[in-house]
Amino acid sequence: MKKLVSEKPRFFDQYSLVWVCDDDIVMSAPQINEAFELTETLGFWVAQPALLPGGRNSHWITCCTGRQWDYRIVNFVEVMMPIFRRDKLIEFLGVYDGSLTGWGIEWWYANFLQADSFGRFAILDRVKVFNPRPEMKGGSEIDRLRPASLREADWNNVREKYRLIQYPHKVFAYCKLSPTRASLRIFYPLEQGPPLNSRLFEWLWGSGWRRAARLVRCALLGPLFLRIVLERGWNDATWYIKCGLIIRRQNRNVRSSYSH
Protein backbone atom coordinates (compact mmCIF):
# COMPACT_ATOMS: atom_id res chain seq x y z
CA MET A 1 0.00 0.00 0.00
CA LYS A 2 2.89 2.36 0.77
CA LYS A 3 4.34 1.62 -2.67
CA LEU A 4 0.94 1.93 -4.36
CA VAL A 5 0.26 5.38 -2.90
CA SER A 6 3.82 6.51 -3.73
CA GLU A 7 3.33 5.51 -7.37
CA LYS A 8 -0.34 6.58 -7.65
CA PRO A 9 -0.97 9.33 -5.06
CA ARG A 10 -4.62 9.84 -6.08
CA PHE A 11 -5.56 6.16 -6.25
CA PHE A 12 -7.79 6.29 -3.15
CA ASP A 13 -9.42 9.66 -3.90
CA GLN A 14 -12.62 7.92 -5.00
CA TYR A 15 -13.11 6.33 -1.56
CA SER A 16 -14.13 7.75 1.81
CA LEU A 17 -12.82 4.73 3.76
CA VAL A 18 -10.15 2.10 3.14
CA TRP A 19 -10.11 -1.27 4.91
CA VAL A 20 -6.59 -2.67 5.31
CA CYS A 21 -7.53 -6.23 6.22
CA ASP A 22 -5.86 -9.62 6.57
CA ASP A 23 -7.08 -12.05 3.92
CA ASP A 24 -8.04 -14.85 6.33
CA ILE A 25 -10.61 -13.08 8.54
CA VAL A 26 -13.88 -15.03 8.60
CA MET A 27 -16.73 -12.56 7.98
CA SER A 28 -19.73 -12.11 5.72
CA ALA A 29 -20.56 -9.47 3.10
CA PRO A 30 -23.29 -7.92 5.34
CA GLN A 31 -20.74 -7.64 8.15
CA ILE A 32 -18.30 -5.86 5.84
CA ASN A 33 -21.02 -3.44 4.75
CA GLU A 34 -22.08 -2.78 8.35
CA ALA A 35 -18.51 -2.16 9.49
CA PHE A 36 -18.03 0.44 6.74
CA GLU A 37 -21.40 2.03 7.49
CA LEU A 38 -20.79 2.32 11.23
CA THR A 39 -17.29 3.73 10.79
CA GLU A 40 -18.49 6.40 8.37
CA THR A 41 -21.75 7.25 10.15
CA LEU A 42 -20.08 7.61 13.56
CA GLY A 43 -17.15 9.60 12.16
CA PHE A 44 -14.24 7.45 13.32
CA TRP A 45 -10.74 7.86 11.93
CA VAL A 46 -9.80 4.21 12.52
CA ALA A 47 -12.06 1.31 13.52
CA GLN A 48 -12.23 -2.47 13.44
CA PRO A 49 -14.75 -5.25 14.09
CA ALA A 50 -14.54 -7.06 17.41
CA LEU A 51 -12.96 -10.51 17.54
CA LEU A 52 -14.85 -13.63 18.58
CA PRO A 53 -13.36 -15.93 21.24
CA GLY A 54 -11.79 -19.14 20.01
CA GLY A 55 -9.70 -17.42 17.36
CA ARG A 56 -6.33 -15.72 17.54
CA ASN A 57 -6.70 -12.71 19.82
CA SER A 58 -3.55 -10.83 20.74
CA HIS A 59 -5.08 -7.92 22.67
CA TRP A 60 -7.90 -8.00 25.20
CA ILE A 61 -9.33 -4.70 23.98
CA THR A 62 -10.14 -6.08 20.52
CA CYS A 63 -12.21 -9.00 21.87
CA CYS A 64 -16.01 -8.64 21.69
CA THR A 65 -17.92 -7.62 24.81
CA GLY A 66 -21.04 -9.63 23.97
CA ARG A 67 -24.39 -8.16 22.95
CA GLN A 68 -24.57 -5.44 25.58
CA TRP A 69 -22.63 -2.80 23.59
CA ASP A 70 -22.55 -1.86 19.90
CA TYR A 71 -19.15 -0.17 19.87
CA ARG A 72 -16.40 1.13 22.15
CA ILE A 73 -14.33 4.29 21.78
CA VAL A 74 -10.73 3.21 22.40
CA ASN A 75 -7.10 4.24 22.00
CA PHE A 76 -5.98 1.15 20.05
CA VAL A 77 -7.00 -0.60 16.81
CA GLU A 78 -4.93 -3.59 15.75
CA VAL A 79 -3.09 -3.69 12.42
CA MET A 80 -4.95 -6.91 11.58
CA MET A 81 -7.98 -5.17 10.00
CA PRO A 82 -8.17 -1.40 10.55
CA ILE A 83 -10.73 0.61 8.59
CA PHE A 84 -9.15 4.02 7.93
CA ARG A 85 -10.79 7.26 6.99
CA ARG A 86 -9.08 7.83 3.68
CA ASP A 87 -7.43 11.16 4.46
CA LYS A 88 -6.01 9.85 7.74
CA LEU A 89 -4.57 6.79 5.99
CA ILE A 90 -2.88 8.95 3.37
CA GLU A 91 -1.47 11.21 6.08
CA PHE A 92 0.00 8.21 7.91
CA LEU A 93 1.47 6.66 4.76
CA GLY A 94 3.25 9.97 4.25
CA VAL A 95 5.34 9.37 7.39
CA TYR A 96 5.42 5.55 7.44
CA ASP A 97 8.75 4.42 5.97
CA GLY A 98 7.87 0.75 5.33
CA SER A 99 10.49 -0.54 7.78
CA LEU A 100 8.05 -2.64 9.85
CA THR A 101 6.53 -6.03 9.05
CA GLY A 102 3.30 -6.10 11.03
CA TRP A 103 4.70 -5.70 14.53
CA GLY A 104 4.26 -2.15 15.86
CA ILE A 105 2.51 -0.57 12.88
CA GLU A 106 -0.67 -0.08 14.94
CA TRP A 107 1.31 1.81 17.59
CA TRP A 108 2.85 3.99 14.91
CA TYR A 109 -0.47 5.15 13.44
CA ALA A 110 -1.99 5.37 16.93
CA ASN A 111 0.77 7.76 17.96
CA PHE A 112 0.61 9.71 14.71
CA LEU A 113 -3.19 10.14 14.91
CA GLN A 114 -3.08 10.74 18.70
CA ALA A 115 -5.48 7.91 19.49
CA ASP A 116 -4.86 8.32 23.21
CA SER A 117 -6.17 11.89 23.14
CA PHE A 118 -8.82 12.40 20.46
CA GLY A 119 -11.15 9.41 20.94
CA ARG A 120 -11.56 8.78 17.21
CA PHE A 121 -10.62 5.07 17.28
CA ALA A 122 -13.26 2.37 17.83
CA ILE A 123 -13.91 -1.34 18.26
CA LEU A 124 -17.19 -2.27 16.56
CA ASP A 125 -18.75 -4.86 18.90
CA ARG A 126 -21.85 -4.96 16.71
CA VAL A 127 -19.72 -6.64 14.02
CA LYS A 128 -18.08 -9.79 15.39
CA VAL A 129 -15.61 -11.66 13.18
CA PHE A 130 -13.28 -14.64 13.56
CA ASN A 131 -9.51 -14.66 13.17
CA PRO A 132 -8.24 -18.25 12.66
CA ARG A 133 -5.40 -19.47 14.85
CA PRO A 134 -2.12 -20.40 13.07
CA GLU A 135 -2.71 -24.13 13.67
CA MET A 136 -6.08 -23.84 11.92
CA LYS A 137 -4.43 -22.67 8.69
CA GLY A 138 -1.12 -24.51 8.70
CA GLY A 139 1.04 -21.94 10.43
CA SER A 140 1.59 -18.18 10.44
CA GLU A 141 2.39 -16.64 7.05
CA ILE A 142 4.00 -13.53 8.53
CA ASP A 143 6.41 -15.65 10.63
CA ARG A 144 7.61 -17.31 7.44
CA LEU A 145 8.14 -13.87 5.89
CA ARG A 146 10.08 -12.52 8.88
CA PRO A 147 10.52 -14.18 12.30
CA ALA A 148 8.76 -12.56 15.26
CA SER A 149 12.03 -11.77 17.07
CA LEU A 150 13.26 -9.71 14.11
CA ARG A 151 9.92 -7.97 13.67
CA GLU A 152 9.96 -6.99 17.35
CA ALA A 153 13.51 -5.70 17.01
CA ASP A 154 12.45 -3.62 14.00
CA TRP A 155 9.67 -2.07 16.07
CA ASN A 156 12.00 -1.27 18.98
CA ASN A 157 14.35 0.54 16.57
CA VAL A 158 11.48 2.55 15.07
CA ARG A 159 10.07 3.35 18.52
CA GLU A 160 13.38 4.78 19.67
CA LYS A 161 13.99 6.63 16.40
CA TYR A 162 10.62 8.40 16.34
CA ARG A 163 10.02 8.46 20.12
CA LEU A 164 6.77 6.51 19.86
CA ILE A 165 4.86 5.51 23.00
CA GLN A 166 3.38 2.07 23.61
CA TYR A 167 0.74 3.16 26.12
CA PRO A 168 -1.75 0.91 27.97
CA HIS A 169 -4.97 -0.02 26.21
CA LYS A 170 -7.90 2.13 27.26
CA VAL A 171 -11.66 2.17 26.65
CA PHE A 172 -12.98 5.76 26.77
CA ALA A 173 -16.67 4.83 26.41
CA TYR A 174 -18.97 1.85 25.99
CA CYS A 175 -21.70 2.82 23.53
CA LYS A 176 -25.08 1.59 22.31
CA LEU A 177 -26.72 2.71 19.07
CA SER A 178 -30.14 4.24 19.45
CA PRO A 179 -33.02 2.97 17.26
CA THR A 180 -33.79 4.97 14.13
CA ARG A 181 -35.99 8.05 14.41
CA ALA A 182 -38.64 6.48 12.16
CA SER A 183 -39.00 3.36 14.30
CA LEU A 184 -39.40 5.49 17.45
CA ARG A 185 -42.32 7.52 16.06
CA ILE A 186 -44.75 5.24 17.85
CA PHE A 187 -43.60 6.82 21.15
CA TYR A 188 -44.01 10.44 20.01
CA PRO A 189 -46.88 12.57 21.35
CA LEU A 190 -50.17 11.72 19.64
CA GLU A 191 -50.62 15.24 18.31
CA GLN A 192 -47.49 14.83 16.19
CA GLY A 193 -49.27 12.38 13.90
CA PRO A 194 -49.92 8.65 13.52
CA PRO A 195 -47.17 6.23 14.54
CA LEU A 196 -45.58 4.23 11.74
CA ASN A 197 -48.05 5.57 9.16
CA SER A 198 -50.91 3.45 10.49
CA ARG A 199 -54.08 4.21 8.49
CA LEU A 200 -56.29 2.86 11.26
CA PHE A 201 -54.61 5.13 13.77
CA GLU A 202 -54.97 8.13 11.45
CA TRP A 203 -58.69 7.46 10.96
CA LEU A 204 -59.33 7.04 14.68
CA TRP A 205 -57.36 10.18 15.56
CA GLY A 206 -59.12 12.25 12.89
CA SER A 207 -62.53 10.98 14.02
CA GLY A 208 -61.94 12.05 17.61
CA TRP A 209 -61.51 8.53 18.98
CA ARG A 210 -58.34 9.43 20.80
CA ARG A 211 -58.64 6.78 23.49
CA ALA A 212 -59.04 4.13 20.80
CA ALA A 213 -56.02 5.58 19.01
CA ARG A 214 -53.96 5.09 22.16
CA LEU A 215 -55.05 1.46 22.31
CA VAL A 216 -54.03 0.99 18.69
CA ARG A 217 -50.60 2.38 19.48
CA CYS A 218 -50.19 -0.10 22.35
CA ALA A 219 -51.29 -2.91 20.03
CA LEU A 220 -48.67 -1.87 17.46
CA LEU A 221 -45.89 -2.03 20.03
CA GLY A 222 -46.31 -5.78 20.57
CA PRO A 223 -45.48 -6.90 17.00
CA LEU A 224 -42.63 -4.40 16.80
CA PHE A 225 -41.10 -5.67 20.02
CA LEU A 226 -41.45 -9.30 18.87
CA ARG A 227 -39.85 -8.54 15.51
CA ILE A 228 -36.82 -6.92 17.17
CA VAL A 229 -36.51 -9.90 19.54
CA LEU A 230 -36.47 -12.30 16.59
CA GLU A 231 -34.08 -10.21 14.49
CA ARG A 232 -31.73 -8.76 17.10
CA GLY A 233 -32.42 -10.47 20.42
CA TRP A 234 -33.79 -9.42 23.80
CA ASN A 235 -31.06 -6.86 24.50
CA ASP A 236 -31.91 -4.77 21.45
CA ALA A 237 -35.65 -5.15 22.03
CA THR A 238 -35.48 -3.89 25.61
CA TRP A 239 -33.12 -1.10 24.47
CA TYR A 240 -35.74 -0.05 21.90
CA ILE A 241 -38.43 0.20 24.58
CA LYS A 242 -36.07 2.05 26.91
CA CYS A 243 -35.21 4.65 24.23
CA GLY A 244 -38.89 5.09 23.40
CA LEU A 245 -39.87 5.66 27.02
CA ILE A 246 -37.05 8.18 27.45
CA ILE A 247 -38.30 10.11 24.40
CA ARG A 248 -41.83 10.02 25.77
CA ARG A 249 -40.68 11.35 29.16
CA GLN A 250 -38.60 14.08 27.53
CA ASN A 251 -41.56 15.23 25.43
CA ARG A 252 -43.78 15.34 28.52
CA ASN A 253 -41.20 17.44 30.36
CA VAL A 254 -40.95 19.86 27.44
CA ARG A 255 -44.72 20.26 27.20
CA SER A 256 -44.94 20.71 30.97
CA SER A 257 -42.30 23.45 30.99
CA TYR A 258 -44.08 25.31 28.18
CA SER A 259 -47.45 25.07 29.93
CA HIS A 260 -45.98 26.71 33.05
Do 158 and 229 sit in the same domain of this protein?
A: no
Percent of the chain residues topping a pLDDT of 70: 84
Do 26 and 81 sit in the same domain of this protein?
A: yes
What single letter denotes the amino acid at residue 111?
A: N
Whole-angstrom CA distances from 248 to 39, 127, 223, 244 are 29, 30, 19, 6
Q: Which of 117, 148, 175 is the last residue of a domain?
A: 175
In a domain, 144, yes or no: yes
The whole-model pTM stands at 0.76
Q: Which of 152, 175, 198 is the last residue of a domain?
A: 175
Which of helix, strand or coil describes residue 196?
Answer: helix
| Confidence (pLDDT) at 55 | 87
Q: How many CA atoms lie within 13 A of 238 on its CB side?
A: 5
In a domain, 180, yes or no: no
In a domain, 260, yes or no: no
Contact 142, 67 (CB under 8 A): no
Q: Which domain holds residue 147?
A: 2-175
Report the number of distinct structural domains present in the chain: 2
Q: How many Cβ atoms from other residues are within 10 Å of residue 191's Cβ?
A: 8
**Residues near 122 by Cβ (< 8 Å), separated by ≥ 6?**
39, 42, 44, 46, 47, 48, 71, 72, 73, 74, 77
Do 191 and 162 sit in the same domain of this protein?
A: no
Contact 58, 133 (CB under 8 A): no
Instruction: Extract the residue ranges of the chain whose pLDDT is less than 70.
Output: 182, 188-216, 255-260
Nearest to 52 by CA among 132, 140, 165, 119: 132
| Confidence (pLDDT) at 188 | 67
In a domain, 107, yes or no: yes
Do 159 and 238 sit in the same domain of this protein?
A: no
| Confidence (pLDDT) at 156 | 93
For 260, counting Cβ atoms within 10 Å of its Cβ (0-12 exposed, 13-18 middle, 19+ buried), the class is exposed
Which of helix, strand or coil describes residue 101?
Answer: coil
| Confidence (pLDDT) at 192 | 52
